Chains A and B, each alone.
Chain A
Amino acid sequence: METATVTNGASIELEPAVDIPSSCNHYYLNMGPQHPSTHGVLRVLLEMDGEYVVEAQPVLGYGHRMHEKMAEHKTWMAFMPNTGRMDYAAALPYNHGYVSLFERLCGIEVPARAEYIRVITSELNRIVSHHLWLGAFLLDLGAFTPILYTFDDREQVLDILEDVTGSRLTYCYYRVGGVCKDIDDKFVERTRAFIKRQRERFKVYNELVTGNIIFLKRVEGVGIITPEMARRYGVTGPVLRGSGIAYDIRKAEPYSVYDKFDFEIPVGKTGDSLDRYLVRLEEMEQSLRIIEQALDQLPEGPYLGKVPKKLKLPTGDSSFAVEAARGELTYYLVSGGGDIPYRLKIRVPSYSNLSVLPELGKGLLIADLVAAMGSLDLVIPEIDR
């Protein structure tokens, strides 16, 4: 094992790189934790041969906040706001998984209207997340302008979500048994207007980006993840679907009311960065379809069901998986009774998606590594949590 000493005095072990003679002019390059294209506090230690990456080693832990440990020291309800602070780009699916876990564990009925509201807001949040990714990904490729366009659209959704949830980024909107505030006609109206606008905007995105020859040359065939490789690392979400495997929790094990909607799972062909880009764009369109149907079917009724004042957790363990914006999110809870969980394990999609990077990065140019990493759509606070 080789050891690299880093600036803060700590040393980390590196796996020996493949067949490098010791006289070779390889050198280490620290990409991050402060680097324009690692988005957050990811650090990638690169062993470079000229402009080629020999070895890419992600170093984690710069944004660790002990969320899982906090869950063992708080009542389950008090942990609720923490769920919105792991993946700041799409917090509502995190809310969704958490409350659904307790609903299943304690056998609580959720009113139909609440389920529809959850689906609508979750899908809006997924679109917001993909907006953010789209802008940031293109920024990694050196296109400055698209991020302003996507943020313009993102702003529209955030305004809608702000009205109903009360916050713009780190939501804490769902409650066990429903949601904390009902949606009104104004919300429905604004959401419909947004859907119409967003469909127009896809044309703008395609004109500005998708057909651009420079963009295509940068992403086509870059960072190929084969289906076999994706399975090996437990990759989920749009990254997995980009590799051609149509796996989506919303279809595979439908939770909430997802089985009532007609939508497709977009898949890629080769698993390169372009496929992941196209899959996410198509996913936004599919989310719009789900929202449209949900708004049409929206039932009347209460938005918060009957929940006992003091909810005691039964002894045992339970897990619940939802499709977050980046892939499969699983909460696994072990309870020993009482209202403080014994252990809460959170399986986040970005962690598995990042673990592909060392194999993916081998032999890429540094510019391609940035493109490939951008296409994985990593949110670092979710990995470190």
Chain B
Amino acid sequence: MPPELLRMIITAVLVVAFVFLNAMILGYMERKVSAHIQRRPGLMEVGPHGVLQLIVDGLKLIGKQLVVPEGASPFLFRLAPLLSFVPCVLPFVVIPFSRKLQAVSMDVSLIYILAMTSINVIAILVAGWASNNKYSLFGTFRSVAQAVSYEIPMLLSLLSVILITSTFSLKGIIEAQKYYWFILIQPVAFIIYFISGLAETNRAPFDMPEAESELTAGFHTEYSGMGFSFFFLAEYANMFTVCSIATILFLGGWKGIPLPLGDYTGIVWFLLKVYGLLFVMIWVRWTYPRVRFDQLMTFCWKYLIPFSLANLLITAVVVKII
């Protein structure tokens, strides 16, 4: 076997394994954090403090039947979960977990990640359309409008960092934060990025596509079993990707105080930062009510986009002068 092929296989296995592991950690974290926010113990039954609960849940979901509703398009209905899941796995290939731990080093890795995460919208569109359910369709309308709108401030805020580093390579961006993290010089961009990230991943308070008090479960109303769990995995994988971009661009990626762990120091810091941001995401979700859809769009077009444009302009001027 040629070493290149072996490398690819190992990468693929590790990445998919990490996606599943991440979903389990996040699923456990979400349920535990929400429980403590709500002053209840949360998972306690399976394993010590319920750590094995997610494995049991996963088995249960695998064992369940994927019911294709009457009048649905069977092919598209089955395709949508995969279409949602696969593009969410691919960004993990280029994420630099530490100085040496990056499967593929690309010059345009940032653009690659953003392109991959955008495909998720199509999956939601397909899922909502194929379900033959009005609530699903509702969720789809909302989701597509929301994702397309919020992509603009997200990209604009990232662009102001790119102007400073003049590279799209994630490694290059981390190396550029030698003396300080970019959050210090680009706080506005970070805040805009994080808010857009919440909207991109359909997290509360922007969880329009699955606003269950209005739309029961939005685009995945009709999905059960593994169909549902692929959407679930994709959501958590997406959250991780969004937070890892934030970590890389604004929080210095793997950089941190040296620990006596050799090469692993980088991973520890990287994961700490990412899961810290994920914790904030969960915290926000379980604290705030949901915004209304038109308010969500107004917020994006009237506030986020002008602010991110202004920020970009100022950054460009400053970079030019310096």
Q: CB within 8 Å of B: which residues of A? A: 27, 29, 35-37, 51, 138-145, 148-149, 152, 208-209, 212, 214-215, 217-218, 365-368, 370
Contacts and interface: CB of A to CB of B under 8 A. Distances in A.
Interface residues of B, number: 28
9 contacts: A29-B134, A29-B135, A142-B205, A142-B207, A144-B34, A144-B286, A145-B38, A152-B39, A367-B290
Contacts of B285: 144
B38 A149 contact: yes
A141 B289 contact: yes
A51 B289 contact: no
B213 A148 contact: no
Contacts of B141: 51
B107 interface: no
A51 B40 contact: no
B44 interface: no
Contacts of B214: 37, 366-367, 370
A215 B288 CA distance: 8
Interface in B112-161: 134-135, 138, 141
Contacts of B216: 35-36
A356 B217 CA distance: 27
Interface centre among B34, B138, B214 (most CB of A within 10 A): B214
Contacts of B65: none
Interface in B278-302: 285-295
B212 interface: yes
A21 B21 CA distance: 54
B192 interface: no
B204 interface: yes
Contacts of A365: 292-294
B9 interface: no
B8 interface: no
B211 interface: yes
Contact of B289 (A36, A138, A368): A138
Interface in B184-227: 204-205, 207, 211-214, 216
A148 B291 contact: no
B40 A215 contact: no
Nearest to A140: B213
A218 to B, nearest CB: 6
B9 to A, nearest CB: 42
A368 B295 CA distance: 12
Contacts of B138: 51, 366
B39 A142 contact: no
A148 B40 contact: yes
